Amino acid sequence: MGAAQPMAELWRGGRLESVHAGHAAIVDAAGRTVEAWGDPGTVIFPRSSCKMIQALPLVESGAAAAHGLTDRQLALACASHSGAAIHTGAVAKWLAAIGCGEADLRCGAHWPTDIPARDALIRAGAEPCQIHNNCSGKHAGFLTLARHLGTGPEYVESDHPVQRAVKAAFEETTGETSPGFGIDGCSAPNFACTLEGLARAMARFAAATGSDARGRAMLRLRQAMTAHPELVAGEGRACTELMRAMEGVAVKTGAEAVYVGIVPQQRLGIAVKIADGGTRAAELAIAALLVHLGVLDRDHPATRRRLDAVQTNWRGIETGILRAAPGFPA
């Protein structure tokens, strides 16, 4: 990575306590980087921020249409959900509809981050299953595509037709040849690209129309996300709250402090990476950039929980503030 730029500061007692630095890029529909902070050429793993790219083959191949997938299901294909009943119930029904079950998933199991869902499992003396995995919607999409293509069950293998299709879509939308991949938390390959390449892909989603198959697929996925923000993340989560605060703008988080934005009004794509992996800084950075572009109200409650966010302790006493570093964004 090149030199990162300070983006978020935590102040306590009138003193600067912590600083998060990172990289960000805003790219237009022509693929040009119009604004950047830090090093936009930094090579990153997009992690879950690129799920809408991973879902492109599901739509473009005709698999989504053949299986009658709804916009709610496509939103789940792009989701890092909380494992609430609204998420797990929908994924379970989706799997049953394509003749699959939980055992066909390859994402692994973890406890839901949704507190009521977690507590219900504990009270029942039950363990979480793979459907509780935040990526189970993406994997249901992978399984749907695998069934449509008539391929084998190990759809997360890098040489499987599903992942070959994902890689092709990833390289075409970023405009780059990926230098390689890492294995994501859900066991699927996660292809690397530059930060500005990721923003370029988001700009293509932002500018998409129904003029061709790729554009129709991008448009449908973007609209599914913004129509169902509660499925893309969950109650109290930044993706859900920020999308609800805007009109038609899609945002998506990824592990290790990656964030993307799709801004159709201006045909712009945004990508952010915080160097130290701090989620609070990534949420501040995407909110600051959306305010900078004029599509997010700085005084909206969803914004104020991330940008210029007053910090309180367990007694409700104000202890400090999380705010943008000087010069970010300019």
The secondary structure of 97-118 as a DSSP string is: HTT--GGG--S-----SSHHHH
pLDDT number for residue 273 = 98
pLDDT tens digit sequence for 32-76 = 999 999 999 999 999 999 999 999 999 999 999 999 999 999 999
Cβ atoms of 133 and 48 closer than 8 Å: no
Q: How far apart are CA 214 and CA 220, in angstroms?
A: 10
* Cα dist from 165 to 43, 58, 76, 252, whole Å: 21, 9, 19, 21
Neighbouring residues of 115: CB distance < 8 A, sequence distance ≥ 6: none
pLDDT tens digit sequence for 294-313 = 999 999 999 999 999 999 99
Q: Which two tokens stand for residue 111?
A: 């406890």
Instruction: Quickly state the pLDDT bin for 211 (edges 50, 70, 90).
Output: confident
Q: Is the pLDDT of residue 134 over 80?
A: yes
Average pLDDT over residues 310-320: 97
pLDDT tens digit sequence for 73-132 = 999 999 999 999 999 999 999 999 999 999 999 999 999 999 999 999 999 999 999 999
Q: Which two tokens stand for residue 117?
A: 């869902």
Q: Is the backbone peptide bond immediately before 329 cis, with ω within 30 degrees of 0?
A: yes
- Nearest CA among 162, 111, 121, 117 for reference residue 138: 162
The pTM is what?
0.97
pLDDT tens digit sequence for 232-283 = 999 999 999 999 999 999 999 999 999 999 999 999 999 999 999 999 999 9
Instruction: Quickly state the pLDDT bin for 210 (edges 50, 70, 90).
Output: confident
Beta bridge partners of 37: 24
Q: Is the pLDDT of residue 330 over 90?
A: no
Q: How far apart are CA 321 and CA 140, in angstroms?
A: 40
pLDDT number for residue 177 = 98
pLDDT number for residue 154 = 98
pLDDT number for residue 2 = 79
CA 32 from chain centre, in angstroms, equals: 22
Q: Which one of 3.40.50, 3.40.1130, 3.40.710, 1.10.10 gives the CATH number of domain 5-324?
A: 3.40.710
Average pLDDT over residues 155-167: 98
Cβ atoms of 128 and 109 closer than 8 Å: yes
Helix (H) or strand (E) holding 260: strand 258-263
pLDDT tens digit sequence for 18-36 = 999 999 999 999 999 999 9
Average pLDDT over residues 207-221: 95
3-state secondary structure of 255: coil
φ/ψ bin of 75: left (φ > 0), alpha (ψ from -120 to 50), beta (otherwise)? alpha
Instruction: Quickly state the pLDDT bin for 189 (edges 50, 70, 90).
Output: very high
Q: Is the pLDDT of residue 325 over 70?
A: yes
Cβ atoms of 252 and 259 closer than 8 Å: yes
Q: How far apart are CA 295 and CA 225, in angstroms?
A: 17
Cβ atoms of 228 and 75 closer than 8 Å: yes
Cβ atoms of 25 and 36 closer than 8 Å: yes
pLDDT number for residue 30 = 97
